[in-house]
Amino acid sequence: MRQRVLVKFSGEALAGDGEYGIDTKTLHYIAGEIKELVDNNIEVGIVIGGGNIVRGVSAAADGVIKRTSADYMGMLATVINGVAMQEALEHIGISSRLQSAIKMEQIAESFIVKRARRHLEKGRVVIFSAGTGNPFFTTDTAATLRATEIEASMLIKATKVDGVYDKDPNKFKDAKKLETLNYDMALQDNIKVMDDTAIALAKDNKLPIVVMNMFEEGNLLKIIKNKDYSKCSIVK
Ligand code: UDP
């Protein structure tokens, strides 16, 4: 049986050097890294955040926009990123499908797990957009949920850092990288892997989470195919 993984990118990862918007060069680079997986017979699901466009908490901060509406705006942002990612994949010849947790039939298929599995079996990359479809959740939780639903062997959190630290490595020189953590460690306040809902769901379903640097070329394939965990952290 082929290996199946779910890769989660934050919206910010798509913004390149900036914090906002979509940088097509970065998008093209990410698509290339995904292609390496597909070319190596690995089935790939993708969840992308929306933080480069709208984050619910920030949009609702001054009270003008209600949190629920702000969160729907955030979910729509993930669909925008999903459309862009699908284009970048198709641009380099990767067959893909975009599914959405919110009905949007002109743009994306509705999320149907059995259909998603079928696409994966046929070697298509499936992009899961619109998060969980519910306000008050994050795309990290959506990624954990989708990874569990499609029975992925691991969830890869692709970031700009090479793993999980005991404190913020940008602020503290003595921050230590934690190579292997258990779920309870990941739930501690100082450890920022993912939000508690996402970690709890991963724990319940024994889904391993790998945190890795997306911007080191070839890293994604090395981790998944060669099980080389030297340049990442793993929660299991
Ligand atoms: N969101 C939501 N429900 C979900 C997933 C996402 O309401 O299931 C909203 C939420 O407002 C969030 C925004 O979509 O702030 C963008 O997602 P996220 O912040 O997780 O993106 P990332 O930080 O990964 O770019």
Nearest-CA residue for atom 22 of ligand 1 = 49
The set of residues, in sequence order, having a beta carbon less than 8 Å from that of 45 and lying 6+ positions away, is 4, 5, 6, 7, 116, 120, 125, 126, 127, 128, 146, 147, 150, 152
For 131-181, the pLDDT digits (tens) are 999 999 999 999 999 999 999 999 999 998 899 998 888 788 899 999 999
Query: Ligand 1, atom 13: nearest CA belongs to which residue?
Result: 74
Q: What is the largest CA-CA distance in the chain?
A: 51
How far apart are the CA of 144 and the centre of ligand 1, in A?
A: 13
> 71 CA to middle of ligand 1, Å?
7
Amino acid at position 223, single letter? I
CA of 173 relative to ligand 1 center, distance in Å:
30
How buried is residue 82: exposed, middle or buried, by Cβ count under 10 Å (0-12/13-18/19+)? Answer: buried
pTM over 0.95: yes
82 close to ligand 1 (CB < 6 Angstrom): no
3-state secondary structure (DSSP) of residue 109: strand
CA distance 8 to 141: 10
Question: Coil, strand or helix: which one is 1?
Answer: coil
Q: What's the pLDDT score for residue 22?
A: 97
The size of the chain, in residues, is: 236
Beta strands in 81-218 (DSSP E): 96-100, 109-110, 125-129, 154-159, 164-165, 177-178, 180-181, 209-213
Domain count, the chain: 1
User: What is the spatial distance between Cα 149 and Cα 30, in angstroms, rounded to a whole number?
Assistant: 24
The pLDDT tens digits of the residues spanning 44-77 come to 999 999 999 999 999 999 999 999 999 999 999 9
- Give yes or no for residue 157 CB within 6 A of ligand 1: no
Q: What is the pLDDT of residues 95-121, one digit of tens each?
A: 999 999 999 999 999 999 999 999 999
**Which ligand 1 atom is the nearest neighbour of the CA of 52?**
25
Tell me the residue range of the domain where 186 lies. 4-235
Q: Where are the beta strands (DSSP E) in the chain?
A: 4-9, 43-48, 96-100, 109-110, 125-129, 154-159, 164-165, 177-178, 180-181, 209-213, 232-235
How many angstroms separate the alpha carbon of residue 161 from the centre of ligand 1? 20
Q: Which atom of ligand 1 is nearest to the CA of 135?
A: 7
- CATH number, domain at 120? 3.40.1160.10
Q: Do residues 65 and 71 make contact, with C-beta atoms less than 8 angstroms apart?
A: no
CB 11 less than 6 A from any atom of ligand 1 = yes
